[in-house]
């Protein structure tokens, strides 16, 4: 049987060929990147934890290992192939196929529970600017004041300030062992 790491890499590579701008990365997130993202999610908050761009599930697995209860976690992924993979890998989770630019609609069944935090692997720099703006607007709409957004970027200088105008950066850390190195940032909704 193929090992799960190799299977994820093969799947990720096929998706890059199909849609390079939407994948926005050369490899699945390294364990150090995934666990750093997950560790930034507070476990004492009410509301859902929404993971955007679940991909092959590296960050999803780290969120579960960190202690996010499966009933609180909703994973959003645009690619139907990756959604099938995520549903097979995490049968206990709600995995929703769709575009994060329509996040409020995708979460319409879950909205009564509120959104406590968003963990995003979306390639905001390589998506078309209109899509990135629409996604930023969804972040603002869904998170209440004090709500946290965890996002990583390959721009080691950090996310440009204009991209998330209603958020302030709370923390930032570079994970050098990821390929390529990435900066994990935590933003708080003002």
Ligand X SMILES: C[S@@+](CC[C@H](N)C(=O)[O-])C[C@H]1O[C@@H](n2cnc3c(N)ncnc32)[C@H](O)[C@@H]1O
Least distance (Å) from ligand X to the CB of residue 141? 16
Is the separation of the CB atoms in 31 and 61 below 8 Å?
no
Does residue 82 touch ligand X according to CB under 6 A? yes
Does residue 53 touch ligand X according to CB under 6 A? yes
Does residue 93 touch ligand X according to CB under 6 A? no
Considering only CA atoms, which of 119, 69, 112, 114 is closest in space to residue 94?
A: 69
User: What H or E segment, with its residue span, contains residue 118?
Assistant: strand 115-120
Q: Which is nearer to ligand X, 13 or 172 (CB)?
A: 13
41 Cβ contact partners less than 8 Å away, ≥ 6 residues apart: 49, 63, 66, 68, 117, 119, 148, 150
Q: Which of residues 117-146 bind ligand X (CB under 6 A)?
A: 121-123, 127, 131
What does the radius of gyration of the chain's CA atoms come to, in whole angstroms? 15
Q: Which of 41, 49, 55, 68 binds ligand X (CB under 6 A)?
A: 55
Least distance (Å) from ligand X to the CB of residue 113? 20
Least distance (Å) from ligand X to the CB of residue 55? 2
Q: Give the burial class of 32: count Cβ atoms within 10 A of its Cβ; 0-12 exposed, 13-18 middle, 19 or more buried.
A: middle
Binding-site size for ligand X (CB under 6 A) equals 26
Q: Which is nearer to ligand X, 35 or 56 (CB)?
A: 56
């Amino acid at each position: 049987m193929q090992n799960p790491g190799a299977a994820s890499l093969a799947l990720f590579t096929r998706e890059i060929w199909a849609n390079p701008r939407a994948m926005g990365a050369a490899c699945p997130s390294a364990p150090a990147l995934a666990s750093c993202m997950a560790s930034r999610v507070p476990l004492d908050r009410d509301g859902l934890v929404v993971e955007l761009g679940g991909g092959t599930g590296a960050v999803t697995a780290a969120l579960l290992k960190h202690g996010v209860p499966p009933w609180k976690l909703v994973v959003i992924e645009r690619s139907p192939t990756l959604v099938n993979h995520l549903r097979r890998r995490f049968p206990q989770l709600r995995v929703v196929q769709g575009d994060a630019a329509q996040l409020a609609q995708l979460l319409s069944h879950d909205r009564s529970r509120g959104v406590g935090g968003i963990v995003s692997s979306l390639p905001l720099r390589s998506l078309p600017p209109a899509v990135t703006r629409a996604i930023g607007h969804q972040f603002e709409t869904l998170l209440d004041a004090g709500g946290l957004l965890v996002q990583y970027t390959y721009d080691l200088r950090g996310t440009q300030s204009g991209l998330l105008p209603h958020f302030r950066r709370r923390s930032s850390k570079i994970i050098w062992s990821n390929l390529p190195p990435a900066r994990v940032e935590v933003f708080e909704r003002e």
